[in-house]
Amino acid sequence: MTDLVIRALSESDAHLFDTLPDPLGVGRALARATHRPDWKRVALRDGKVVARAAWWGGPDDETPVNINWFDFADGEEEAGAELLRTSPFHVEFELILPAGWREDPARLAAGEARIRAAEAAGMRVLVERYQYRWTPECGLPERPGRLEFRTEPDDEVILDVLRRIHSVTLDAHALRAIAASGVDRAAQEELDFFHWCPSPREWWQLAYTPQGELVGLHVPAHNPSGPCVGFIGVVPEQRGRGYAYDLLVECTHFLAERGAEFIAGATDQGNFPMAANFAKAGHPIVQERVHFLPGSPH
């Protein structure tokens, strides 16, 4: 085989990125994403693209948030691994796959090859997640009517609620932050994400029982790709009553009432209660995502 050339793209040669076939349909799934030419890298052999990756971030981000597009030509798994291995960006990788990808032999083979390449580049799997996409055709779930929702302008109050929610959590990203730096760090990361979203601060709502007891928090949001369920969380002492469903329904109504043509959502595949809530509320699974932690920087 001839030598591999790995490099970033620019405005003038950004078209090279699209010369590789897209068997898993990732390009269609990422139509709304922001991929700057200089955040795209390709591996070339004899001038032909044999592997590619794109890093994603918000319009105001100076560095990418994650990698969310990575694939390679047949027989070029090692080229793909080398592309990731030599990346200047030390960020998480979200491998986007079609829903039910393990049930289709061709998709299974393609997905497993990408996983092997990422692991060969030093990355390791953190969690697999379901990605949801509600549209008006799905219908609006009926509000249970059990809770009252109020805006909360004080970030310190929101942080305290997040600490309580994350003190007992199934979320793999929160658990990783807690293991590394404690529950305060996990709560702060959530709050930073809420502020990073371009949607209004006043959309964040705390939920209470009619008796005034705090139940939890829901954050209807827009990320740079569009409307999304930013956060759903119930404080530990209120769990077991199905309130996360009430929060998700309210979040769906809130965004739909403000003209959302779709609402993205996600949860860890191991979070069976939340996955059940998404299904009950009429949010269909449209993708699965394998989240990898970056390897050691080179």
Same domain for 231 and 171, yes or no, is yes
Q: What is the pLDDT of residue 135?
A: 98
Same domain for 96 and 149, yes or no, is no
Same domain for 148 and 227, yes or no, is yes
Same domain for 199 and 263, yes or no, is yes
Same domain for 201 and 258, yes or no, is yes
Q: What is the pLDDT of residue 23?
A: 81
Among positive and negative, which fits the CA dihedral 73, 116, 58, 245? positive
Same domain for 190 and 230, yes or no, is yes
Q: What is the pLDDT of residue 84?
A: 97
- CATH number of the CATH domain containing 62: 3.40.630
Low-confidence stretches of the chain (pLDDT < 50) are none
Domain boundary pick from 62, 94, 129: 129
Domain region containing 265: 140-281
Q: How many domains does the chain have?
A: 2
Q: What is the pLDDT of residue 257?
A: 98
Which of 263, 200, 227, 197 has the alpha carbon at shortest distance from 57?
A: 197
Residue type, 16: L
Same domain for 109 and 217, yes or no, is no
Q: What is the pLDDT of residue 76?
A: 96
Domain boundary pick from 107, 129, 151: 129
Q: Which two tokens stand for residue 198?
A: 């371009």
Same domain for 121 and 10, yes or no, is yes
Q: What is the pLDDT of residue 297?
A: 61
Same domain for 154 and 239, yes or no, is yes
Same domain for 150 and 112, yes or no, is no
Same domain for 121 and 80, yes or no, is yes
Q: What is the pLDDT of residue 168?
A: 94
Whether residue 262 lies inside any domain: the answer is yes
Whether residue 290 lies inside any domain: the answer is no
Domain boundary pick from 129, 159, 175: 129
Q: What is the pLDDT of residue 1?
A: 60
Q: What is the pLDDT of residue 295?
A: 79
Q: Which two tokens stand for residue 175?
A: 């658990």
Q: What is the pLDDT of residue 29?
A: 74
